[in-house]
Structure 1
Amino acid sequence: MGSDDLFRKRKAREGAALQRERHERAQNKRYLIVCEGTKTEPHYFRELLDDLRIHPQVVRIAPNDGGSPDRVVAHALVLYEDDAASGDAYDTVYCVFDRDRHTTFDTAVQRTKDLSAAKKPLVAITSTPCFEVWLLLHFGYTSQPFHPAGKKSVGDQVVAALKTKPGFGKYGKGQKGIYAQLKGKLDDAIDNADQLCRHCAVTGSVNPATDVGKLVLIFKKMEQ
């Protein structure tokens, strides 16, 4: 076989591979998650996505670049625009952050809405007071609000409530294996989070609240 034939066959294989890649890209949307937390939330989502066999090329969890909601949104926008400049923008960018005691929470949420309206698909996935509300909902429904008391912040109060649950007495921020520990209760948590969202919509309450169940449900529908 001549070198010209080998060259043509190699080019044909490369062309076919490129076509497959383009086809897969057309069939699969790409998502980005940017979290306020540096460990707890990224660990949880990575373990969830691994369990659902969703590849990192489909859902990327980006490193944090600042712990306040406004920094989360600003960093997410930079990553989105960098990717868009390469010609293959993320279909949706999820900004995961807590209300807690952050003064930039409301402006960060509004910023995501403004960007989305401008065709830059950033979506706020928020929890009030904190992400641990989502974990609590694995153990049953609650709409009981949380408040700071003494030296404990509002977030500390949620963590204290979580520590009363079986297997969570030594829970700590940044802990790995949380998803696996709660996997059997995931469907209950999704149902409880949906009920809480409906309660908040009817009552106007924002404490407690979490959108994490909505994001988890999106990923569950993508399960391989």
Structure 2
Amino acid sequence: MANIIKIDNAVLKRRRRTEQKRKTEFKSKRMFYLIVCEGEKTEPNYFESLKKSLPKGVLELTNIDIDGTGKNTLSIIDEAKKLRDKYYSQYLRTIDKVWAVFDKDSFPDENFNNAINKGENSKLKINCAWTNEAFELWYLLHFNYYNTGISRRQYQNLIEKEINSASNRRDYRYLKNSKDMFALLNKYGDQKKAITNAERLEKQYLDRNFARHNPSTRVHNLVCELIKLTEDYVREQSI
């Protein structure tokens, strides 16, 4: 018969205190993110899928709320501030990071530039994951480096061409509000390549006339920040 090892009560109490301390520290580290998207479907669907791909432990430590406002470029920053304040009034909890996701599209240059400057210069900064000209540029960068201006009409054909080529298909058709884009990009594209390509585009432009930075995107900054949540979590677990 195996001997039963008795653990001293003092040791048990110490272990309980240590475990309670870890739970308290765990809760205090919880981060709150708010991602406010100009589009109602395309961008929210992508970031909801990215969020679901994060490890369970990351999602326990990080609250990520994604809102598709349907607001235009001119009002997206005000909407982000409004939602941030509403969150605080309801939950008495400060949002740690606020991101606004929006496109240049056909909006006037002045409106686009003003939205970015307004976000960056807000008392509580609104980070801007903008794209010139459209969010779909981020998709294309998963396959190749595009450094010439792309109009909205071209995006659909280029995305279909890239995915059909990568998947050895001929029948893929891009649906703008698809919930499958994140999965398709992960399967047939390369997220690291997309980040590298986006960084290359960013380095092309030295001025702050963002409306003239076509093509260009800052979506990779938000994606990298969300990826880093996983990296930090894994590193902490290994300590």
TM-score, L = length of structure 2: 0.74
Q: Give yes or no for contact 1:91–1:121 (8 Å, CA) kept in 2.
A: no
Cα shift readout 1:123-142 (whole Å, capped 9, x = no counterpart): 11100100010000011112
**Secondary structure at 1:191's aligned position in 2?**
helix
Structure 1 residue 30 corresponds to structure 2 residue 32: yes
What is the distance in 2 between the residues matched to 1:128 and 1:99? 5
Q: Give yes or no for contact 1:193–1:213 (8 Å, CA) kept in 2.
A: yes
Residue of structure 1 equivalent to 2:225: 218
Structure 1 residue 145 corresponds to structure 2 residue 149: yes
Aligned residues: 197
Of the structure 1 ranges 184-193 and 159-168, higher mean CA displacement relative to structure 2 is found in: 159-168
Q: Please report the RMSD computed on the Cα atoms of aligned residues, expressed in angstroms.
A: 2.5
Task: Return closer, same or farther for 1:77/1:203 CA change in 2, 3 Å cut-off.
Answer: closer
How do 1:1-12 and structure 2 match up within 5 A? none
Q: Give the residue type in structure 2 aligned to 1:166.
A: I
Q: Give the residue type in structure 1 aligned to 2:98.
A: V
Q: Give yes or no for contact 1:190–1:213 (8 Å, CA) kept in 2.
A: yes
Of the structure 1 ranges 196-205 and 136-145, higher mean CA displacement relative to structure 2 is found in: 196-205
TM-score, L = length of structure 1: 0.78
Query: How far 1:166 moved relative to its partner?
Result: 2.5
Taking only the aligned residue pairs, the percentage that are identical comes to 27
Q: Give yes or no for contact 1:65–1:71 (8 Å, CA) kept in 2.
A: no
Structure 1 residue ranges without an equivalent (≥5): 1-15, 147-153
Structure 1 residue 60 corresponds to structure 2 residue 57: no
Q: Give yes or no for contact 2:38–2:76 (8 Å, CA) kept in 1.
A: yes
What is the distance in 1 between the residues matched to 2:185 and 2:221? 17
Task: Return closer, same or farther for 1:74/1:26 CA change in 2, 3 Å cut-off.
Answer: same
Looking at CA atoms only, which structure, 1 or 2, has the larger radius of gyration?
Answer: 2
Residue of structure 1 equivalent to 2:183: 180
Query: How far 1:161 moved relative to its partner?
Result: 2.1
Query: How far 1:158 moved relative to its partner?
Result: 2.4
Residue of structure 2 equivalent to 1:106: 113
Q: Give the residue type in structure 2 aligned to 1:181.
A: L
What is the distance in 1 between the residues matched to 2:156 and 2:127? 26
